[in-house]
Structure 1
Amino acid sequence: MKKFGEFILKYKIVLIILIIVFTVISFRYVPRLQLDDDETTWFSSDDPILIAYNELQDTFIGSDFVIVAYESTDILSEPEITYLAFLTEKLENVPHVTDVSSLTTVEDIVGTEEGMEIKPLIEKTPATEAEFSSLQKRIDLNPFYRGNLISNDAGTIGIVLEVDLAEEDEKSTSELSRETASSLREILHGESEKTGRTYYLGGSIITDAEIDEMMEKDISLFFPLAMVLTALVLLVLFRNITSIIFPILTVFLALTWTLAFKGMVNSPITPVSTTLFALITIIGIADSVHLISHYRIELPLKKDKKKALLEAYQRAGKPCLFTSITTSIGFGSLIISDIPAIRSLGFFAGFGIMSAFILSMILVPLGLLLTKSKPKTVEPIERKGNSSGLFAWIGAFNLKHPKSILITGLLVVIIMGVGITRIRVEPSMLEYLKKKTLLRQDAEFLDERLSGISSIEVVIHGDEESLKEPAVLKDIESLQELVESHPNIPVSYSIVTFVKLINRALHSDNPDYYRIPETREAVAQSLLLYEMSGGSELEDYATLNYDTFRVSMRTRQMKQEERRKLIEDIAAFAEQNLGQFKVDITGFDHLVHKVTERITVTQIQSLGLAFLVILVLMFMMLGLRGGLLSMVPNIFPIVIVLGLMGYAGFHLNIATAIIASIAIGIVVDDTIHYFTHFKHEFQEAGERKAAMLNALHKVGPALCFTSLILVLGYIIFLLSETRILMDFGILSSIAVITALVGDLFIGSTLLVKFNVFRK
């Protein structure tokens, strides 16, 4: 790496110009970045799961919905009905809303002497006890009302908004979601100010929009706070303005280049990629710390800045290169994930970290050369040989208790390894959020009082002749009965619901006729009469030519195992009873199920790939025996973190799924620096104990300070609006701390005990 340093110093002007050019170009593309948290965040455009979901939305406009709810003590009184009608009409003006359903607008299928009539459920406010009783009866008789538009205890009103977010030329789906959610929040805030009511909102559109807002808050917090904390640590470590400005400048430019690259290829900011702002800052600074530390060691000895820098390149350049590569590999292993958001994070984090390495190797040394004030030529702590220091104590402890250290490490690994078997997948998307967040509180209220905010959808494709057969409709009815037996499926709707309502109306509202007609002709006649009577709501569940039906199952939040079993039961039923048709299982809850499944696969595949590639690199750098030995202290923090997830109840989710593969890329950094210095000291001293003590003294402080920067950076995530990023911060901090402990104690002890390097 000395020649690399000579090259940089020789062509410094050209390199600075290139950096300026790249940065100027980058500033053109950063504004193109967009926040995004729709279905394309989690599924590729050609993924069959997403294709089926998009076909559902294209075929049935009402498949995207938002629920607005509020509590009332006397829902069917004249003032309350008048207010509900007013609010319903007002919500019709919300952007991208195609229809609004409430008790004041929904149609009612009523039997008459001539046959049946389609009319509003509430034509006028009930004035007498008989009218009031009749309205309550009509509500109870129709499954579309109870639990959907009014709670079972009649204490909560629900309003369902059908939304069409067809992408426009200049706006993405996420932007349209934000427009809808923002308009709704504004209207309901105004109503709350006037009436004193509390309103509750739910639905995938609201979730997407709210998470976008959380991302904006996280971004505005993570980056500046990471910069400030990093600068403070550098100030404490070096007490020199140059040693603060230029490292900060490198990570700022690395982040700018990374964001520009994302903007250039139209890769949006997602909930996962918000971590880039802090990750590149705290990880990218490590190379600068090691380079400056070695420069400060060599300057008093060389008495010349250039010679000191070249020696720093020689001693720190190669370890910094390999640590940047291994960290990038840890992130890069995520590109094998089937989840675009995780795949994108892996690629761009790797790009940012390598950019930070290149920039630190150029800008930091040039900054040290150009500064007029020299660093103090006092021998730094790394060169002191007295035995009273922390690292002398660690070295003495390692020499005195090698067996205790290794046995303790082994026992910890065994105990925490058992905890890995207890890791469970995140039970619901709501638990991605902190309990105090409005989005989670609203969703929990709607789950408890109404029929939930999500759905599983079954779409049945056939032809008009076959789908109108009573036998087929009875199979669909059986499917609905099957899913409604599940505690988290309060209700389901389909064409069958309409057919039974129509049949009952045609028989003078006799409850005994709330069933499917016996012949295909009777079914066809019922549907025709419905259309002729002006009915329009059936189009949400059947196409105009009746060749495609939709069964919509409203879902409450549930555990992944429950959701998996439910979907398996639906698939098995469809295969056994509807095998002659093309059946798609989709819906937002089905998307959640598939993402959750892929999270587990990502954890296993990415960790395996990262481990193997990093092991090969360690072989290349440290030899076969050194490479194998170096992985032992790195297994230690990974097992501890995963075991802690199992014991402490940290669920596997979109953020924690990437912990292991990222952690192995990060924690191996300290190992590379320590093992490289041990190898150098051993080749000079020819004795392993002395090599261990010298390596601890020379590189130990830098390892501790870079670890401190990483821990402080990860702690920033505790301030996130989302619980998954908070968990990510906690677990990553623990990984860094235990990795440092593993290298200083376990790694040091192993290097003394086993002869892995030649003199």
Structure 2
Amino acid sequence: MTTSKSRMYDASILARPYTVLATVVLVALFFGLFTPRFQLEASSDSLILDDDADLRYYQTIRKQFGEDSFLIITYKPEGDLFSDEVLGRLRAMVTDLKGLEPVDEVQSILDVPLLLSPKLSIAALIQGLPVLEDARVDRDLAKIELTESPFYEKQLISTDGTTTALQVTLKPDAHFETLNLRRNDLRARKFEGTLSETERRELAQVDHSYRKASIRQTERQEATVDQVRGILDRYRGDAEIHLGGVPMIVADMIDFVRRDIAVFGIGVFLFLVLSLSVIFRRPRFVVVPLIACAGTVLIMIGFLGFVDWRATVISSNFTSLLLIITMSMAIHVAVRYHELREAEPDLDQSQLVARTAAGVGLPCFYCALTTMVGFGSLVVSGIKPVIDFGLMMAVGIMVAYLMVFAVFPPILKLLSRGTIRPFGAERGSLTGFLADVTERRGNALLIVAAVLLVVSVLGLNRLSVDNRFIDYFKESTEIHRGMRIIDQQLGGTVPLEIIVEGEGANYWASPQNLAKLRRIHQFLDDLPETGKVLSLDSAIRVAEEVHGAPMNRIIFAMVRRLLPERFKAAVMDPFVSDDFSRLRLVARIVESDPNLERQALVDKIHHFMREEAGLGPDQYRLTGMYVLYNNMLQSLFRSQITTIGSVFFAILIMFTILFRSLKLALIGIVPNLFPVLLVLGTMGWLDIPLDLMTITIAAITIGIAVDHTIHYIHRFKREFEKNRNYIATMRTCHAGVGRAMYFTSLTIIAGFSILCLSQFIPTIYFGLFTSFAMLVALLASMTLLPKLLLLLQPLGPERAAEPSEEAAITATPPASL
């Protein structure tokens, strides 16, 4: 800290240690009261852009065609699916599921109407439709109809007739749906800029009510999923059963979040205890930093509960990150305390603590700011959970800084000096080895760095965002197994929808326009990326097979009148508007296809619709979760460049202010750019795409790695002023602040490695690559950075060294860390 800031800190903090510590305890207790209100969220909102125009269009389409919340159950019996015994067990399971209070309807092969088993005439439709267990149904014909029907095949049954699916529709929450619709309307007006002041206040109230209702909705769905699993467990002995669907994915992801928070938090905490014990071997340097860490996490969790700021899968590791970042600050304080204790043994405890705080307070403050900038840059992603994660961490880092300097120095001041374990001299240690490499192999080091940068840039050109949602989960999870079976045997998972506008009422009732619909439907069906395709044409194909001839206007009008309401609601209402002016086609995408290229598929469909179907851009629109998810992925790629650019620009400004030298600032940028490019380039070479988690690696790497640069250059400037010798200054810095950098890096690397215990694959990649980035950042800060300082001499010319000084530089006795 500067002299004025040091005096202010001494007067306000160190001079009143009991008052400050009591205040910290009261603040922690206050926010601790709100920790039970801390909530988790894992809805589909985490996979879409908050301000996406396609999202607003999708929401309007949902109002017209409806959207049910349902679970999918896959059922593969050991025997013949169509045998009496198997159908009896299936009927019993369906009955048990229907008995659950939250379940509205269960659709299965037992309940769907059969028109071709045997074939019915159009006139017979009015007399009622048979189902599978009716006596008049021929089971062999039913098997053929179900496995070949445009509606049922790959929807309710696999093409080989061995696996069937049950769709368990959950009862809607009328209050939640009303809030959701009103919220969507108001948000649409907000993004369009037409929201009045009254509506703005209403939106704030609706948002608040919606968040509360969504918590209740999620809790109900979690309980329903548990009840459904309890029923399924009773039938698993005779069949292979898997559960899928959005409510189940949400419930399981929330379980992942809870588990990750507990496992990562406890794992990192235990590791910190071990590492501090090994490094410092004094209880005070273990207990006091842990108090700061625990206080930071407690206050942040309470704060999030207080303001109803929910964690998601993306931010589930925020507690671990806060522990690691808080500990890294505390280690810098502890190492500086040890240095001063060794160098100036005559200082009393108050002077020693004051000098310690003055020595590391300002660089730690700038480190906190730059790390906050790194995390804060995630707001440009446009993805709400990523934005929340960045802002959440930015707030947490400031809390961590305040906690460390409000707890650690005051407690140290209240304790006696005691004895400390000397670290030993620098030569012979790892930091000494890196100093030797920098001094004696500096030119070779620059060549290696240049080669690695070229390789990294080439790898960047291979980086993509074409990831598969199924790959987010380990193969052992229910989500992965269920999605794979639905993908491969039951027509795909994520829906891509096409809305086609007609020219007025009954436009899609004419045979000519229905022929155009058939071309579009057939095109989608022939795509290798699609599984099941459903549209009005599916119903028409069934009617044509019953009628035995192509559909004409008269027969089509008769079918529309004669179809039972229940059947019409299933085969027509979801795919055409009441006045037949708007069509909806739904193509389910095979997510497990390793060759799936999301944007290429979207471009292919656009080309067909415009060039071959002859539709203008205002006559059709692609929508659905596939489109929204793809928009999010494309945003990841665009925002990555923006994020990196904005972070480096902000850090360059801060470096220039801190070091008061543009030359030093530019030198400081280099070792921070190096790990980012190397990590992203490595991901490109390994064909690991960017996703919701890995997009954050660059910003986090810059934010945390820049701490090394700040501490090293800040110390380098101070030491150089004393001896005006670059090599001597480098060795002094390696022996001093270099040790703190080494200790903090080990802590960060091992801490992030614990994330590999997650069930969420992006979190595992996040932990591995962030650990790798921290290792590269340490090596770059301890070799490349000092080499650039030695080479470019940004602090001015050296003072000619005396012979005794040269001998002292090269004769430091060996020791080890």
TM-score, normalized by length of structure 2? 0.86
Aligned to 1:227: 269
CA–CA separation in structure 2 for the residues paired with 1:452 and 1:397: 56
Shift of 1:378: 6.0
Q: What amino acid does structure 1 have at the position aligned with 2:375? A: F
Task: Pick closer, same or farther for the CA change 1:713–1:694 going to 2, 3 Å.
Answer: same
Identical amino acids, percent of aligned pairs: 23
Whether contact under 8 Å (1:336, 1:343) holds in the other structure is yes
Q: What amino acid does structure 2 have at the position aligned with 1:116? A: L
Counterparts of 1:326-337 in structure 2, within 5 Å, are 326-337=370-381
CA–CA separation in structure 1 for the residues paired with 2:731 and 2:565: 91
Aligned to 1:399: 439
Q: Does residue 419 of structure 2 align to residue 376 of structure 1? A: yes
Whether contact under 8 Å (2:531, 2:589) holds in the other structure is yes
Map Cα deviations across residues 57-87 of structure 1 (whole Å, 9 max, x no partner): 4444455443211223311111122222222
**SS of the residue aligned with 1:116?**
helix
Q: After the TM superposition, which of the residue ranges 569-578 and 428-437 deviates more from structure 2?
A: 569-578
Shift of 1:615: 1.2
Whether contact under 8 Å (1:77, 1:125) holds in the other structure is no
Shift of 1:555: 2.0
**In the alignment, which of 627, 631, 652 is matched to residue 615 of structure 1?**
652
Shift of 1:568: 2.9
**In the alignment, which of 734, 742, 745 is matched to residue 696 of structure 1?**
734
Q: Does residue 92 of structure 2 align to residue 86 of structure 1? A: yes
Shift of 1:209: 1.9
Aligned to 1:676: 714
Counterparts of 1:223-262 in structure 2, within 5 Å, are 223-262=265-304
CA–CA separation in structure 2 for the residues paired with 1:67 and 1:452: 12
CA–CA separation in structure 1 for the residues paired with 2:339 and 2:136: 89
**In the alignment, which of 727, 747, 753 is matched to residue 715 of structure 1?**
753
Q: What amino acid does structure 1 have at the position aligned with 2:753? A: I
Aligned to 2:150: 143
Q: Does residue 456 of structure 2 align to residue 416 of structure 1? A: yes
Q: After the TM superposition, which of the residue ranges 306-315 and 705-714 deviates more from structure 2?
A: 306-315
CA–CA separation in structure 2 for the residues paired with 1:665 and 1:161: 46
Q: After the TM superposition, which of the residue ranges 210-219 and 391-400 deviates more from structure 2?
A: 391-400
CA–CA separation in structure 2 for the residues paired with 1:365 and 1:434: 45
Shift of 1:698: 1.0
Whether contact under 8 Å (1:105, 1:121) holds in the other structure is yes
Aligned to 1:524: 557
Shift of 1:411: 1.4
**SS of the residue aligned with 2:33?**
helix
Task: Pick closer, same or farther for the CA change 1:564–1:280 going to 2, 3 Å.
Answer: same
Task: Pick closer, same or farther for the CA change 1:503–1:246 going to 2, 3 Å.
Answer: same
Task: Pick closer, same or farther for the CA change 1:229–1:273 going to 2, 3 Å.
Answer: same
Counterparts of 1:505-654 in structure 2, within 5 Å, are 505=546, 507=547, 510=548, 513=549, 515=550, 517-519=551-553, 521-531=554-564, 535-537=568-570, 538-544=572-578, 546=580, 548-557=582-591, 558=593, 562-574=597-609, 577=614, 579=616, 583-622=620-659, 623-654=661-692
Q: What amino acid does structure 1 have at the position aligned with 2:75? A: Y
Aligned to 2:401: 357
Aligned to 2:9: 5
**SS of the residue aligned with 1:274?**
coil
Q: Does residue 53 of structure 2 align to residue 20 of structure 1? A: no
**SS of the residue aligned with 1:452?**
coil
Counterparts of 1:121-270 in structure 2, within 5 Å, are 121-124=131-134, 131-140=138-147, 142-163=149-170, 166=173, 168=176, 170-172=213-215, 173-192=217-236, 195-270=237-312
Aligned to 1:52: 57
Aligned to 1:735: 773
Task: Pick closer, same or farther for the CA change 1:203–1:454 going to 2, 3 Å.
Answer: farther
Shift of 1:589: 2.2
Shift of 1:532: 6.8
How many equivalent residue pairs?
742
Whether contact under 8 Å (1:321, 1:357) holds in the other structure is yes
CA–CA separation in structure 2 for the residues paired with 1:244 and 1:565: 54
**SS of the residue aligned with 1:627?**
helix
CA–CA separation in structure 1 for the residues paired with 2:142 and 2:374: 63
Q: What amino acid does structure 2 have at the position aligned with 1:745? A: T
Whether contact under 8 Å (1:299, 1:305) holds in the other structure is no
Whether contact under 8 Å (1:204, 1:588) holds in the other structure is no
Q: Does residue 537 of structure 2 align to residue 496 of structure 1? A: yes
Shift of 1:115: 4.6
Shift of 1:291: 1.0
Whether contact under 8 Å (2:76, 2:163) holds in the other structure is yes
CA–CA separation in structure 2 for the residues paired with 1:394 and 1:146: 65
Map Cα deviations across residues 486-522 of structure 1 (whole Å, 9 max, x no partner): 11312211222223323443x2xx2xx2x4x333x54
Shift of 1:688: 0.7
Q: Does residue 704 of structure 2 align to residue 666 of structure 1? A: yes
Shift of 1:377: 5.2
Map Cα deviations across residues 88-124 of structure 1 (whole Å, 9 max, x no partner): 2322244544332211101234523745354133143
Whether contact under 8 Å (1:426, 1:560) holds in the other structure is no
Whether contact under 8 Å (1:329, 1:613) holds in the other structure is yes
Shift of 1:414: 1.4
CA–CA separation in structure 1 for the residues paired with 2:562 and 2:451: 75
**SS of the residue aligned with 1:539?**
coil
CA–CA separation in structure 2 for the residues paired with 1:393 and 1:579: 67
Q: What amino acid does structure 2 have at the position aligned with 1:105? A: D
Shift of 1:660: 0.9
Task: Pick closer, same or farther for the CA change 1:45–1:329 going to 2, 3 Å.
Answer: closer
Map Cα deviations across residues 306-337 of structure 1 (whole Å, 9 max, x no partner): 11111112211111111111111110100122
Map Cα deviations across residues 420-467 of structure 1 (whole Å, 9 max, x no partner): 222222421011112222311221122222212321122346654333
**SS of the residue aligned with 1:122?**
coil
Aligned to 1:116: 125
Shift of 1:224: 1.1
Map Cα deviations across residues 627-683 of structure 1 (whole Å, 9 max, x no partner): 111111222211211121112232211111111111011111111111111111111
CA–CA separation in structure 1 for the residues paired with 2:564 and 2:515: 22
Q: After the TM superposition, which of the residue ranges 681-690 and 557-566 deviates more from structure 2?
A: 557-566
Aligned to 1:434: 474
Shift of 1:125: 6.2
Task: Pick closer, same or farther for the CA change 1:562–1:361 going to 2, 3 Å.
Answer: same
CA–CA separation in structure 2 for the residues paired with 1:548 and 1:657: 38
Whether contact under 8 Å (1:35, 1:174) holds in the other structure is no
CA–CA separation in structure 1 for the residues paired with 2:582 and 2:121: 30
Aligned to 1:276: 318
Task: Pick closer, same or farther for the CA change 1:430–1:756 going to 2, 3 Å.
Answer: same
CA–CA separation in structure 2 for the residues paired with 1:285 and 1:244: 10
Aligned to 1:314: 358
Root-mean-square deviation (CA, aligned residues, Å) is: 2.5
Shift of 1:223: 0.6
CA–CA separation in structure 2 for the residues paired with 1:525 and 1:333: 60
Q: What amino acid does structure 1 have at the position aligned with 2:158? A: S
Q: What amino acid does structure 1 have at the position aligned with 2:438? A: N
Q: After the TM superposition, which of the residue ranges 746-755 and 390-399 deviates more from structure 2?
A: 390-399
Shift of 1:705: 0.6
Map Cα deviations across residues 686-727 of structure 1 (whole Å, 9 max, x no partner): 111111111111111111110011011101110001111111
Map Cα deviations across residues 144-202 of structure 1 (whole Å, 9 max, x no partner): 2222222111111222233455464644343344233222212111222xx33220122
Q: What amino acid does structure 2 have at the position aligned with 1:601? A: R
